[in-house]
Chain A
């Protein structure tokens, strides 16, 4: 099988949200991360956060969905890394984006490097990272 991967190609953008407080409770339950800064408004305020903030891993999960929508089941996802850059809060809508920045051969495999990021509707980047896709 051949691919049409090209440097500069954008993956389809995935829009997530607006995020609700219930979404954060659901993610806490599903992930086991019960840190109250994500779920208890009074606690988060007391900690100086101005209210609950989303789990970074929830946003990473959203970007992961954008990647797997594109990659699975045809391609392998072998690496996925992000840096958390800004807080995400209930009410935010997150746009998950990816752009192929490198396509290379590794033996019989084709390997694509994807720069990924998530931004809010103000255009602020909340998560930024890279992923690697492989095709036999």
Chain B
């Protein structure tokens, strides 16, 4: 069960590798035929110089866990999603990814009590270069301690 103790605490970073096959599969799932996600020869002719990942690809990463800070998936609503990119994700990138619960707030409506959870995620290279950050608002009806 989530409670205020978790606000602000970063998870232990997990190493994620941007794999060529995973990028192609993700682009396929969106139905995006852009060769920049698949074709090394084409990508080499672009300003990026190599295959990049679609802008929402970082949602596939493992950001680690905060033991005890888990939510039932049931009844969760994804309200908002924000990405900030310092550069595109390249195939072969090795990124240390972590998350924190940035804020939690309570609202009471006719349907009962709702909890608004704001998570932040980030991906950093092994030499400490921040590549992207994310912010995600999730709305839950699960009982959460205030």
Q: Which residues of A contact B (CB under 8 A)?
A: 16, 23, 26-27, 29-33, 35, 47, 56-58, 60-62, 64-65, 67-69, 72-74, 76-84
Contact = CB atoms under 8 A, between A and B. Distances in A.
A115 to B, nearest CB: 15
A58 B26 CA distance: 10
A35 B80 contact: no
A60 B82 contact: no
A68 B60 contact: no
B47 A67 contact: no
Contacts of B86: 78
Interface of B: 22, 25-26, 28-32, 34, 36, 46-48, 52, 54-56, 59-60, 73-88, 135
Given A31-B59, A60-B56, A79 B29 contact: no
B75 to A, nearest CB: 8
Q: Do most interface residues of chain B lie in helix, strand or loop, or is the interface mixed?
A: mixed
A32 B84 contact: no
A81 B47 CA distance: 24
Given A27-B29, A35-B73, A81 B55 contact: no
Given A61-B56, A81-B82, A84-B79, 14 more contacts: A27-B29, A30-B29, A31-B29, A62-B31, A65-B30, A68-B36, A72-B46, A73-B36, A78-B85, A80-B82, A81-B81, A81-B135, A82-B80, A84-B77
Given A74-B47, A82-B81, A29 B56 contact: no
Contacts of A84: 77-81
27 contacts: A16-B31, A27-B29, A30-B25, A31-B26, A56-B81, A57-B59, A57-B81, A58-B30, A60-B81, A61-B56, A64-B30, A64-B54, A68-B34, A68-B36, A68-B55, A72-B46, A72-B52, A73-B36, A76-B87, A77-B55, A79-B83, A79-B84, A80-B56, A81-B80, A81-B81, A82-B80, A84-B79
